[in-house]
Structures are given as structure tokens and as C-alpha cells.
Amino acid sequence: MDAGAAMKLFQQALAEESEGRLASARDLALQALQGFGTDRTGMAAAQHLLALVCVGLTDFKQALHHVDEALSLRESTSDHQGLLSLHQQRFEILTRDLGLHEQGVEQGAAVVRAAEMTGSREALTAALYQRAELQHRIGQSVEESIDRALTYCDRAGEEGVRAGFLMLRGRTESGTTAVATLRQALQVARQARSRLCVAQALLALAEALPGEEARPLLIEALDAGELLQDSVVRVAALRALSRIETGRARLDVLVQAARLCSGDQAREFLFEACEHAAGSGLVHRAVGVARDLVIASETKGEQAAAYFVLGRRLAEAGGMSDAAHAFEASARLQPRAEAQGSALAMAGQVHAALGDTDTARQRLREALDVASPLEIPAIRDILENL
């Protein structure tokens, strides 16, 4: 096979990988690898693509093998950017996919060395930061890494990056020392004139301060997030504010955070908001939030749980008829028999409270067929007393 045919196969493999057809991409890349023969650049590109494909196929050990093969081929070239990309991929496979954090720290040092070879300040500071952050996460000392990074930032005039490393140092410290470092990080971030950097520094400092001192910082971070249209910053600020605020203010913060999120995160905020509203005596607000929770639910199991919450809140607010319908909806959607029994038992009790004893008995008998053994005696007592 000539080089042109091998390159054509490689380009087909790239197209297959971009379309998500990973098995086909792997077969084509292996053919291209064989076809490149002694072309080290082509072989390295094919090995790199094979590593990406194997990550997509969750064959992480094989992905690591292909990365190592690609590195051995690239190291004899002057492609410093290619080497950096491979070292970074190796770092991610070790830490993210295989959970080998100790090896990840060693690989992080290799990424730093590769970044230095590229001459890119941005690449070097990113490599220094990810290694230091990993060291902090697994309990290793990060002082040496941070000192090196700060020295580099001082020479290069990288104020925004310097603020990031000061924030990381502050996270490793405690008490007044941490607060002093984080105040310095905020000051440096303001000098960098980066709104995002300032918002991150505000959040970091607020986390280290008592509630009343943290509030104005969090409000400023929230404002910055709104100007940036950065939902991550806004949600982080709202989450922190929810730990400080009470009553209606806390409820409003939680609902606002939920509206900025989706999926599990939105549902978590809504559930917390609903529980807080109920616990604060805001029963009608709790019903409204519970309805939002039903709308935000996606799977049948999530919908069943949300309807159960709605039933409880409606019952507390005096909406007994609607509560019965909510519990019945929960029972219909619930995939777990025991949870279905709980919902039917609640529906039966609500119908009994409404004076509809026939329907109450029917729901309670249905509950007995699926309820957990622990609930059955209580359900029988209710049924016998009707």
C-alpha cells in the first residue's frame, strides 16, 4: 500500500470517528497504520487517532497503549505541539478514565515539560495548574508547584493566571491565612481586568468567610456572572447564597438556581426549594415548586417521585382532591413495587379524609398487594378502622 492510499484510509477513519462510528474508525485507522509503513509521522497520527477511538469505546488500557506508541514515534520529531497533545491525552486517560492519580501527577510533570517545549505561556500555565490541582485533590503538597507557577507568572506578567494559583493556594490553607491569600487573589484578579477571574476569586473568598461577610461578595459574583452570561458562575453564587439566606429569600435563591440548570442539578435545587418552603410554612409556594419538579422530571421514576412530593405538599395545603390524584399518578408511574405501595397507601388515606371510603378501601387493598412488609401492618390498621 502506498502512502497516498494510507492517507486516504486515515482521512476516512477521521470522518468515521467524527460521526461517532467508532468501530469502523478503529478498523480503518489500523489499516492506515499498517499502510504508512516506515512513515513515522503518519504512524504517529494513526496511533493518536486509535487512542481517541479507544477512549470513546471505553477501552482505556488499549488507549494508553496507543498513546505510548504515538509518543515513541513523535519524540524523534520536532512536532512539539503534537507531543504536548499526546502527553495531555495520556494525563487525562490516567486521571479521568483509569483513576491512577499518583501516576497522573508524574504524567502532569511530563505535560509541563512538553508545554515548555512549545514556548506557549498559556499551555505552560495550564499544565502547571492542572498538575497542582491534582496534587491538592489527592492530598499531596502543592507548595513547590504553586511557587514555581507564581514565579513564572510574575516574570510573564500573567496576572489572571497568578490569581488562579493564589486561589488554589488559598484552598490548601485554613483560617486567617487562607483568607489573606484569597484577598490577595481577588486584588490580583481585579488588576487583571478579567471579569471571570474576579468572579471566581469572589466565590473563593466568600467560601472562606462567615455568612454576613460573604453575602456582598456573592452578590457581586452573581452580578458578574449575569454580565458574563455565565451560568456556572451564577449557579455557584446562588448555591453559596442558599447556605446563608433564610425564609423566602432562600427559597427565591434556590428557585432561581434551578431555572439556570437542567437535568439532575435542576431537580436537586427544586427538591431542596420545595422542602425548604414546606419547612418554612410557605405551603402554597411549596406546591408551586413541586409542580415545577414534576415538569422538570424526565424518566418515569423521576416523575413518580415528583408526583409523590406534589401529593404531600397539596395535602398540607388543603388540596386533598388534587393530592389524591397526585399520589395515584405516582403509583401508576412508579417502577418499584414497594414505592408504588407507599403511593397507593397515601392515596387511600387522602380519599378516606375526603370521606370517600369505598375508593379509600380500594387503594389500600391495592397497596397491600405491593407494599413492603414493614408498611403492611400500618396499612391493615388503617383499612380495618375505615
pLDDT tens string 181-192: 999 999 999 998
Q: How many CB atoms sit inside 10 A of residue 268's CB?
A: 14
- What pLDDT, in 10s, does the model give residues 239-285? 999 999 999 999 999 999 999 999 999 999 999 999 999 999 999 99
pLDDT band per the 50, 70, 90 thresholds, residue 38: confident
pLDDT at position 23: 92
The three three-digit cell numbers of residue 359, written as one number? 375508593
CATH number reported for the structural domain that contains residue 371 in this entry: 1.25.40
Q: 269 and 330 in one domain? A: no
Residue at 250 is within a domain = yes
**3-state class (DSSP) for residue 315:** helix
Residue after which a domain boundary falls, among 218, 240, 262: 240
Residue at 82 is within a domain = no
* Closest CA relative to residue 258, chosen from 274, 241, 291, 235: 235
Residue at 24 is within a domain = no
Q: 347 and 281 in one domain? A: no
How buried is residue 58: exposed, middle or buried, by Cβ count under 10 Å (0-12/13-18/19+)?
Answer: exposed
pLDDT at position 78: 77
Q: 326 and 351 in one domain? A: yes
Question: Is this model's pTM higher than 0.85 or not?
Answer: no
Mean pLDDT of the chain: 91
CA distances from 242 to 87, 192, 227 (A): 41, 29, 21
Rounded-to-integer distance, Cα 327 and Cα 308, Å: 5
Residue at 56 is within a domain = no
Domain count, the chain: 3
Rounded-to-integer distance, Cα 84 and Cα 95, Å: 16
Hunting for cell 486515515 — which residue is that?
10
How buried is residue 120: exposed, middle or buried, by Cβ count under 10 Å (0-12/13-18/19+)?
Answer: middle
Q: How much of the chain, in percent, has pLDDT values that exceed 70?
A: 98
Q: 200 and 168 in one domain? A: yes
Q: 226 and 153 in one domain? A: yes
- Domain range for 228: 141-240
Q: 284 and 327 in one domain? A: no
